[in-house]
Amino acid sequence: MSGILYGTGTGPGEAELLTLKAVRLIRSCDMIAVPVSDSTLKEPCIWEEGMPYLDRCAAYQIVLPEVPEIRKKPVLCLPMPMMKEKEELKRIHDAGAKKVEEYLDEGMNIAFLTLGDPSIYSTYLYIHKRVQKDGYQAVIIPGIPSFCAAAAALNLGLAENKEEIHILPASYGIEEGLKLSGTKILMKTGKKMPYVKETVKASNDRFWMVENCGMENEKIYENPDDVPEKSSYYSLIVIKEGS
């Protein structure tokens, strides 16, 4: 009987924000899978002592204090490079899914660890869709989304009454999105940071940015001028209409 793949959301960064369900499934699974953006990893592999990938995997490090027994589980490292070349990404994701399926065929249940929630801009979805298409069982285990944790860190409500919420992947263009009414949540701002800062300064909108939410080096900015041009990948911006 084939195993089950669990796309497991680990929340935004604070170990205590792991759900009870995520902890239970991670403990019960036979194998852990993690995404690796490090360009030195070219093909899927089982982690071995001396490899740097787990130290750099935020999702794995979030889980470790609450579920230390994962140290004893085999970890499948899956290349997930940050690139936009569609054909190369397709090859990489296809290879990752096939490797996952090999272990599912052995009857192993696999917990794929992913930051935040697996349904929101998650690398896990590339594997999830392929595995499901090939007839295997894949289940999404929700996690607390980064923007909900950021709102809590800001002690801020994201929407009330008829207010709209718009979640924008900023690295893919935000010019039109910033014109929308209601609350705008910008994820993966990256190179768009200068544009965002200037746009907000020219409006009456309120601005907040949470960097590394829930992590030891969390920082909160409420003035666009204070935001560094190069902020962490784990940075999230909230923009609300009005002064």
**CA–CA dist 36, 59 (Å, integer):** 11
55 forms bridges with which residues in the sheet?
A: none
Look at residue 220 in the predicted model and tell me its pLDDT.
Answer: 94
Residues 6+ apart with CB under 8 A from 160: none
Contact 169, 146 (CB under 8 A): no
| Cβ neighbours for 91, distance < 8 A, ≥ 6 positions apart | none
pLDDT in tens, the chain (243 residues): 799 999 999 999 899 999 999 999 999 999 999 999 988 898 999 999 989 999 999 999 999 999 999 999 999 999 998 877 889 999 999 999 999 999 999 999 999 999 999 999 999 999 999 999 999 999 999 999 999 999 999 999 999 888 899 998 876 667 778 788 899 998 877 666 777 777 777 777 888 999 888 888 889 999 888 888 777 777 899 998 865
Residues spanned by CATH 3.30.950.10 within the chain? 146-240
Cα–Cα distance, 41 to 188 (Å, whole number): 22
The confidence score (pLDDT) of residue 139 equals 98
Strands (E), 44-172: 45-46, 75-79, 110-114, 137-141, 165-169
- Please name every residue paired with 114 in a beta bridge, in sequence order, or none if there are none: 9
Q: Does the domain at residues 146-240 carry the CATH identifier 3.30.950.10?
A: yes
Exposed/middle/buried for residue 89 (C-beta within 10 Å: 0-12, 13-18, 19+): middle
Q: Please give the pLDDT value at position 193.
A: 76
- CATH 3.50.50.60 is the classification of domain 4-141: no
pLDDT for res 198: 78
The reported pLDDT for the residue numbered 20 is 97
Q: Please write the tens of the pLDDT for every residue from 40-72.
A: 898 999 999 989 999 999 999 999 999 999 999
Distance CA 6, CA 140 (A): 6
- Strand duo 45-46 + 165-169: pairing: unpaired
Compute the distance between CA of residue 200 and CA of residue 107 in angstroms, rounded to an integer: 52
CATH 3.40.1010.10 segments of the chain: 4-141
**Residue 190 confidence (pLDDT):** 64
Distances from the Cα of 102 to the Cα of 4, 184, 206, angstroms:
12, 41, 50
pLDDT digits (tens, 9 = 90+) for 168-193: 887 666 777 878 889 999 887 766 67
Q: Are 232 and 193 in contact (CB under 8 A)?
A: no
Selection from 181, 193, 188, 179 nearest residue 147 by Cα:
188
pTM value > 0.75: yes
